[in-house]
Structure 1
């Protein structure tokens, strides 16, 4: 995942925030900016002038989610908004170095920690999942040879996914305690933390969902799921057209996942909702 891609995704979320927050307060304005990577400069005048009320950023604890969240928080903080990242004690180090590095630029980002109840949910000690050893960016905290697993990437197998999301759902009460203490203006949380919708509603603040997949990929996936064009080709190498898109996008059957090729539905949301049940 390139830095340019993450910045584009962050800018997309930023524009969505403008629309939502403008509905709450019309004094939010956007002005042109000649930066090389962002077409719009957002001045959250009301929110930055209101003092200490922050924006909360709460990603699920996984590599493909915490890194973009850090970029987004940095983007908001550079616009004068107080940004606070919510994470667990063993994931703090992922953010802390980058946050310290940006301090000399005048970009301040806070970190608030919530205990992750791994032992209560029969989660194993932190281990090296096959394939992750090749990654240059390590998600193993220093001196963590025998610590509970607090990162999705560190689960030894998918058999413990339900345990992980059950533990994540148990973070609801301490999150709401933080919301009550800090009174944030907005809650930006991961798509894999759907229970945060109820938390935001309880305190009457907007919740904005962070989805790590690009809009283009989601549109392609939705079209393939709806139209199943791979059934109309005679071989794996024959191309088919992805319908309902403004441009001509062609793929082959081998470029699809096994789930897409089989036509089976993969719906993870029941797992997340089930994990939040008492």
Structure 2
């Protein structure tokens, strides 16, 4: 079944009006891959109907970032979605999403100032602005997000809770290619050489996981991951961090329980992020 493609708020409202039952939403910027389809399948398993938005949101790109170069191929996206039981695809243009300069803005708070927010200081405000708009337009019962963008996921959950938006936020684990690289639309930027170099991110995360499993504390986990990533040829490290999965505050030596090991690096011209959960055993008696 091919989805109904709508481009305006009026068309979206009309398409939604004839769909009884529960509604699941997957928000994307297009250039879809199997990681996106995993989100769609999760939405399909949980809701009677699925809506997918496809929109490259300019507010979440900073100066000098890849807004113009970001891959766009709606026809290919629709071909992929046709086999996934999607009911509606909302594919607006900029004028439809932002008919005027938005004067009321979403403030993402302190979590948006660390890690990705430190490197991209306007990014999360732009993300939450468009997420809030699409949630209000679609009015889903649930919205599905990927755990690769873990900081984004935490901020969306916080916004939904703090603003009483009344939607369940569902997380889906990271999908990886056979070589371990986390699936991302930006992987298409990678040359063959740089794709091989990019595997240092997942190797660094696995080294940190192994260190934690062997009893290392926060410092040891960070050291193991940093050693792998820092020694990789052609990889410019942005950060290696071990944080609380909910607050994104850094964990300290002696902390125990789950932690999120997050890395970001530029491989050639392409900036990539990845993360894994580690289990910190805490200080031994």
Q: Which has the higher helix share?
A: 1
TM norm. shorter chain > 0.5: no
Would you tell me which structure has more strand in proportion to its own residues? 2
Work out which of the two has the higher radius of gyration on C-alpha atoms and give 1 or 2: 1
Q: TM-score, normalised by structure 2?
A: 0.38
